[in-house]
Structure 1
Amino acid sequence: MTESVSVGESKLDFETVLNNAVGEFGKYQLISILLLAIPAACSGFMAGDYIFTAARLPHRCAVPLCDGLEPEYLPDWISNAIPETATGIDECNRYINITDNSNTTLGDVCPAIMFDRNRTESCDSFVFERTNTVVYDFNLQCQEWRRALAGTFNSIGGMVALIIAGYISDNLGRRMSIVFFGFNEALTGLVRAFSVNYAMYVAFQFLQTAIGGGIYSASYILATELVGPKYRVLTSATMSSAFAAGQMIVGLVASVVTEWRHLTLVLFCPVFLTVFYYWIVHESHRWLLSKNKQEQARATLNHVAGVNGRTILIAEMEFLLTAIPRKMEANKIDTKTPLLIRVVKSHVMLRRCCITPVWWITTTFIYYGLSINSVSLSGNMYLNYVATAAVEIPGYWTAVLVLDRVGRKVTLFTGYMLCAICCISFAFIPNNMYGLSLALYLTGKFSIAAVFTSLYLYTSELYPTRHRHSFLGYSSMMGRIGSIISPLTPPLMVYWSGIPSMLFGAMAVISAVLLLSQPETLGTKLPDTIEDAELLGSA
């Protein structure tokens, strides 16, 4: 049953009454979204800081007979002492010395006759091009898989955050969640800057996202709950753009503050300021109404209406304060059959529940994988990372423009296939063709960003209202598998530099093909029951 109230002579539902009373979008919503974009940007810091603080350092074996007191990373004689590889010089092995007589050198030259170029040995000490990451401080050279664990545990923490964020946001409110997660993000970042070993560094990478990663979802939910239905897609794109802007800030700051401890402090200490959001922003009036906190809801609604230049009628206020509790009571359904059993018995829903997680795994795998691998591109690593983050923003807004024009499936299929073409092509572009390789790389990131924002909408439209949040949460949590394994792709470049790109492309093709098995949802009524969801696309 739809709750309604007589205002004048018309019957209006809850959404219409609320929008008429406070406005779908006005000065209040604009100010609030601009404020909420700041913690959303701060969440982008967690997605990118380890890419620089735990970045791979170019290094080589030390050659005591040839290196002076201040060794040069790439001296003229380097090819005489260090084997060459397809990507440069061998970082972990050197040719075996066949003489210990340093007098065989001619001036500053280290001749090839000093080494047996048919035999190599592992390094016992190293010379670095730079020394500004945890790799140098914690002796992680030649341990690429161990170095990559920082990103993996960062993503595992993000999976934990999904559970914690939902509980805190639903029980303590959106505003309190921003304060809680913002403080935790700042505190764990501060402590991590003083890590004494790699285990401590990785542990606090995990803790930061586990107990601080919910700051984005709390900001996102609060922002979307403030606006009317017509503005939610635009608000979603705005918050996603703020997240991308946060990643851009990481790249720009890292280019100036290069030492990893200082970079961590500069990024995360300012996040302590989010504590003041407890007094700066107001709680979501929708959350207050859903929790039947009538006095707080009344004050907040009057404040929103006042800022937007509106006045709430007594009849409207009384209806708004009681509509959601009454509707929740009216909608109580005694479901004897557990949801899992109902899904298993439905071939349509079971197939859908197997396919949507694949899309999410693919999307997070490619999205985070392209960000992580961007610092390995030719050229300036900082500018490459900033460009890779910046290109997401037009991707988000492109999705906004085309989703309601060409449909969800066409948008997603095109996005996946364009991303696949770019990634696979990138794998075969020579290193000296920097312009073309960068263009392909950025187009791939643009495509997957458009897919990301479209996937939220499409997934939610495939599932019934009563269980929509559960199904969306299930797909999103499974998707974290992609972000967990994406940091492990850079070490694969030791075997062939194109392996990560080929993996991204293959996964995108698989997801594009799976899209063909699901119905188009553009212009259809949102399903309310599992039976409705089964009938999608059958008309």
Structure 2
Amino acid sequence: MEFEEILQHIGEFGPFQWRVYILLCLFSLVTPFHLFSQIFFAKPVDHWCYDHTVDSLNCSVFNITEEECLHVKKDIYIPKNSKSNFETCLKYQLDDTIESVVDSNVTNVIGCDEGWSYDPSVHSGYSIISDFDLVCERQSFPHLATSMFFVSVMLGVVLFGWFSDRIGRYYTIMVMCCLLLIFGVALCFAQSFASYVILRALVGPCAVGLFLVPFVLGAEIVSSSNRIWTGFIIEFFFAAGYMVLALIAKFVQNWRYLQLAITLPTLLIFAGMPFVVESPRWLLARGKTKEALKNMRKIAQGNKKPLPDISLEGSPKEEVVIDDNCTLIGMMRDPVMLTRTLTLMTAWLVNNITYMIVSFLADDFGVDVFIGSFILAAVEVPANILAIFSLKFVGRRWSQSVMFITCGFFCLLSRLAAPGFWQMALMVLAKLSITASFNSIFVYTAELYPTPIRSVSLSVCSMSGRVGGIVFPFILLLGNVWSHLPVIIAGAIALMSGMSILFLPETRHSSLPDTMEEAKNIGRKTDSGIEQRRTHLETEV
């Protein structure tokens, strides 16, 4: 008896699976905590060049406030730019005498050779910018840290995926929790930018893995017909974690304490693990029949259903004819499938770049960074709902295309609006569109490939998306050239990707392909002129 048949007897998605699944969803709350935390770690701080000669001047004799004194000092040795604002990375060259300070003929301009001064209202730990002097020629360093974070995520997720297949989903979650606690707490005490980058890079795979492995485990304990719902429901918890992060960051404005606040909830995962079971599917696949039976008995008891007399040896299978061309190499050699793959890889790449740019520019819309982040997080809830209904009633191809094009349109239109309500509203609509696309492109991609290479094809496209996570910080850097440039780039590539999607076939009323030839003929009429019958994605994925 196959496991799918067993689930029909013990419960396809009964109360026991619901309890376990909700726990797994709660575990995934920590992922957005660490994924988006640098938005609040690297808050911008007013800065200017430090000069020990000017700093030693005492303004108390002039009977002025500290703020007025600071302005007087800056007026002495800081040049102004074309907009009459004080330069942040230049100063006049003075010698060590008071006379040079009052000499109005000093014109030689130099860089910040003595370091920087920061807004006096900013306390230690307010931002990694002031703690590690990430300004002027080092202003790109926070973006480098973000890029390294996503490099480690790309490599680490592959490692934990392999680990999960070797030792099981349950113990992989436990290992990731232990490592996340160790590295997450250690990050609170980082004393240099190098140690900050390294520890963030170690945190990344653990945090993202705590979304992906529970995602897999949740899908494996329910029937195939319910998997598509487990895939979308967990996204609501991801959005909730994103919103909770913005709220915590609003009240904990020391990045070290914030890091501790988002790491300690990992302890709650240990408290919930006794109520989670290892995947019976994985146990059966590894030949651990006794443990699989034990966990299936738990599921049956939790659902108040009897465990039938079963044989897990399975019935004789029909001989399967293997298509020699249905391999990754064979796909790359086929012009139709190669074009399809390149189009999808581009879509995944653009999706990740655009999603991250819109998310990380929460402080660029003329509103408070905490409010902006909370709104951009909250919009993921209706975006998930939109993705579900658009896939069901509109179709895959047109849903993806319209979502991309809509996102691109709103990104470009937002650059014409003044900072404030209207610009924020347009960016919220852009985030709504790209999130809906982000959450549904997995379904569309899986339906376009034959069964033997479906998983590896998804991995290839997903890897392309991870590259987007590495690239987007450098696009954000272009904001130093022109503040609108990152959003314009995001909008332009979203528009182009939306149009390219239209060259892909529609899969809504097509069966999942099992051979390369079936995959190439998706959306076409069969030889008999009868359209392929629909088989839901969830019966295969």
TM bucket (normalised to shorter chain) is: 0.7 to 0.9
What SS class does the counterpart of residue 140 from structure 2 fall into?
helix
Counterpart of 2:329 in structure 1 is 341
* 2:480 is the alignment partner of 1:485: no
Amino acid at match of 1:452: F
**Structure 1 gap ranges (5+):** 6-12, 106-112
Amino acid at match of 1:490: L
After superposing the two structures, state which structure 1 stretch, 371-380 or 474-483, moved more.
371-380
**Which runs of structure 2 are paired with 1:289-300 in the superposition (5 Å)?**
289-300=284-295
Alignment partner of 2:35 out of 33, 43, 47 = 47
Quote the Cα distance in structure 1 between the aligned partners of 2:9 and 2:83.
66
Deviations, residues 409-467 of structure 1 (Å, cap 9, x unaligned): 11111111111011111223223xx0001111111111111001110100011111111
Quote the Cα distance in structure 1 between the aligned partners of 2:69 and 2:22.
48
Quote the Cα distance in structure 1 between the aligned partners of 2:347 and 2:176.
28
Quote the Cα distance in structure 2 between the aligned partners of 1:73 and 1:221.
59
Deviations, residues 91-113 of structure 1 (Å, cap 9, x unaligned): 222466799768998xxxxxxx9
Deviations, residues 281-308 of structure 1 (Å, cap 9, x unaligned): 0112222232232111112112112212
**Which runs of structure 2 are paired with 1:208-287 in the superposition (5 Å)?**
208-287=203-282
Alignment partner of 1:446 out of 432, 436, 454 = 432
Deviations, residues 16-43 of structure 1 (Å, cap 9, x unaligned): x234212222211221121011221111
Whether the aligned pair in 2 keeps the contact of 1:50 and 1:150 (CA below 8 Å) is no
Alignment partner of 2:445 out of 459, 465, 481 = 459
* 2:48 is the alignment partner of 1:30: no
Counterpart of 1:8 in structure 2 is none
Quote the Cα distance in structure 2 between the aligned partners of 1:86 and 1:164.
51
Deviation at 1:134, TM superposition (A): 2.0
What SS class does the counterpart of residue 127 from structure 1 fall into?
strand
After superposing the two structures, state which structure 1 stretch, 504-513 or 130-139, moved more.
130-139
Deviations, residues 119-166 of structure 1 (Å, cap 9, x unaligned): 743234423232412222222221121221111111001101231122
Aligned length: 510
Counterpart of 2:533 in structure 1 is none
After superposing the two structures, state which structure 1 stretch, 487-496 or 65-74, moved more.
65-74
TM-score scaled by length of structure 2? 0.86
Whether the aligned pair in 1 keeps the contact of 2:352 and 2:465 (CA below 8 Å) is yes
After superposing the two structures, state which structure 1 stretch, 242-251 or 346-355, moved more.
242-251
Deviation at 1:186, TM superposition (A): 1.8
Counterpart of 2:381 in structure 1 is 393
Amino acid at match of 1:419: C
Deviation at 1:332, TM superposition (A): 6.7
Question: Structure 1 198/76 Cα, relative in aligned 2: closer, same or farther at 3 Å?
Answer: closer
Deviation at 1:14, TM superposition (A): 5.7
Deviation at 1:469, TM superposition (A): 0.7
What SS class does the counterpart of residue 24 from structure 1 fall into?
coil
Quote the Cα distance in structure 2 between the aligned partners of 1:237 and 1:392.
11
Whether the aligned pair in 1 keeps the contact of 2:410 and 2:426 (CA below 8 Å) is yes
Deviation at 1:391, TM superposition (A): 1.1
* 2:118 is the alignment partner of 1:159: no
Alignment partner of 1:138 out of 121, 124, 132 = 132
Question: Structure 1 90/73 Cα, relative in aligned 2: closer, same or farther at 3 Å?
Answer: farther
Whether the aligned pair in 1 keeps the contact of 2:32 and 2:242 (CA below 8 Å) is yes
After superposing the two structures, state which structure 1 stretch, 453-462 or 202-211, moved more.
202-211
Deviations, residues 63-85 of structure 1 (Å, cap 9, x unaligned): 66487689649965667845246
Quote the Cα distance in structure 2 between the aligned partners of 1:479 and 1:59.
36
* 2:90 is the alignment partner of 1:93: yes
Counterpart of 1:110 in structure 2 is none
Whether the aligned pair in 2 keeps the contact of 1:185 and 1:212 (CA below 8 Å) is yes
Quote the Cα distance in structure 2 between the aligned partners of 1:32 and 1:379.
39
Counterpart of 2:528 in structure 1 is none
Counterpart of 2:306 in structure 1 is 311
Whether the aligned pair in 1 keeps the contact of 2:27 and 2:210 (CA below 8 Å) is yes
Quote the Cα distance in structure 2 between the aligned partners of 1:29 and 1:87.
64
Deviations, residues 380-420 of structure 1 (Å, cap 9, x unaligned): 11121121112112101211122110101111111111110
Whether the aligned pair in 2 keeps the contact of 1:27 and 1:307 (CA below 8 Å) is yes
What SS class does the counterpart of residue 378 from structure 1 fall into?
coil
Quote the Cα distance in structure 2 between the aligned partners of 1:326 and 1:88.
79
Counterpart of 1:127 in structure 2 is 117
Quote the Cα distance in structure 2 between the aligned partners of 1:74 and 1:416.
52
Deviation at 1:170, TM superposition (A): 1.5
Quote the Cα distance in structure 2 between the aligned partners of 1:305 and 1:498.
57
* 2:401 is the alignment partner of 1:413: yes
Deviations, residues 220-240 of structure 1 (Å, cap 9, x unaligned): 111122233443233222211
Quote the Cα distance in structure 2 between the aligned partners of 1:351 and 1:440.
33
After superposing the two structures, state which structure 1 stretch, 360-369 or 223-232, moved more.
223-232
Question: Structure 1 258/74 Cα, relative in aligned 2: closer, same or farther at 3 Å?
Answer: farther
Amino acid at match of 2:410: C
**Structure 2 gap ranges (5+):** 60-64, 526-541
Whether the aligned pair in 2 keeps the contact of 1:179 and 1:277 (CA below 8 Å) is no
After superposing the two structures, state which structure 1 stretch, 80-89 or 366-375, moved more.
80-89
Quote the Cα distance in structure 2 between the aligned partners of 1:273 and 1:507.
41
Question: Structure 1 42/212 Cα, relative in aligned 2: closer, same or farther at 3 Å?
Answer: closer
Whether the aligned pair in 1 keeps the contact of 2:34 and 2:262 (CA below 8 Å) is no
After superposing the two structures, state which structure 1 stretch, 228-237 or 450-459, moved more.
228-237
Question: Structure 1 57/430 Cα, relative in aligned 2: closer, same or farther at 3 Å?
Answer: same
After superposing the two structures, state which structure 1 stretch, 437-446 or 335-344, moved more.
335-344
**Which runs of structure 2 are paired with 1:511-530 in the superposition (5 Å)?**
511-530=497-516
Amino acid at match of 1:322: E
Quote the Cα distance in structure 1 between the aligned partners of 2:453 and 2:328.
11
Quote the Cα distance in structure 2 between the aligned partners of 1:73 and 1:164.
56
Amino acid at match of 1:35: L
Deviation at 1:499, TM superposition (A): 0.7
**Which runs of structure 2 are paired with 1:54-69 in the superposition (5 Å)?**
54-62=42-50, 65=54
Counterpart of 1:10 in structure 2 is none
Deviation at 1:379, TM superposition (A): 2.3
Quote the Cα distance in structure 1 between the aligned partners of 2:511 and 2:332.
24
Quote the Cα distance in structure 1 between the aligned partners of 2:374 and 2:190.
27
After superposing the two structures, state which structure 1 stretch, 363-372 or 290-299, moved more.
290-299
Quote the Cα distance in structure 2 between the aligned partners of 1:497 and 1:218.
38
Deviations, residues 338-387 of structure 1 (Å, cap 9, x unaligned): 82431233111111121111111111111112111213332211121121
Whether the aligned pair in 2 keeps the contact of 1:152 and 1:483 (CA below 8 Å) is yes
What SS class does the counterpart of residue 322 from structure 1 fall into?
coil
What SS class does the counterpart of residue 418 from structure 2 fall into?
coil
Quote the Cα distance in structure 1 between the aligned partners of 2:81 and 2:316.
73
Whether the aligned pair in 2 keeps the contact of 1:61 and 1:82 (CA below 8 Å) is no
What SS class does the counterpart of residue 526 from structure 1 fall into?
coil
After superposing the two structures, state which structure 1 stretch, 275-284 or 170-179, moved more.
275-284
Deviation at 1:482, TM superposition (A): 0.7
* 2:522 is the alignment partner of 1:536: yes
Question: Structure 1 65/169 Cα, relative in aligned 2: closer, same or farther at 3 Å?
Answer: same
What SS class does the counterpart of residue 250 from structure 1 fall into?
helix
Question: Structure 1 46/68 Cα, relative in aligned 2: closer, same or farther at 3 Å?
Answer: farther
Counterpart of 2:353 in structure 1 is 365
Amino acid at match of 2:169: R
Root-mean-square deviation (CA, aligned residues, Å) is 2.9
Whether the aligned pair in 2 keeps the contact of 1:179 and 1:276 (CA below 8 Å) is no
Counterpart of 1:191 in structure 2 is 186
Alignment partner of 2:313 out of 281, 298, 322 = 322
Deviations, residues 230-278 of structure 1 (Å, cap 9, x unaligned): 4323322221121222222222212212112111112113313423454
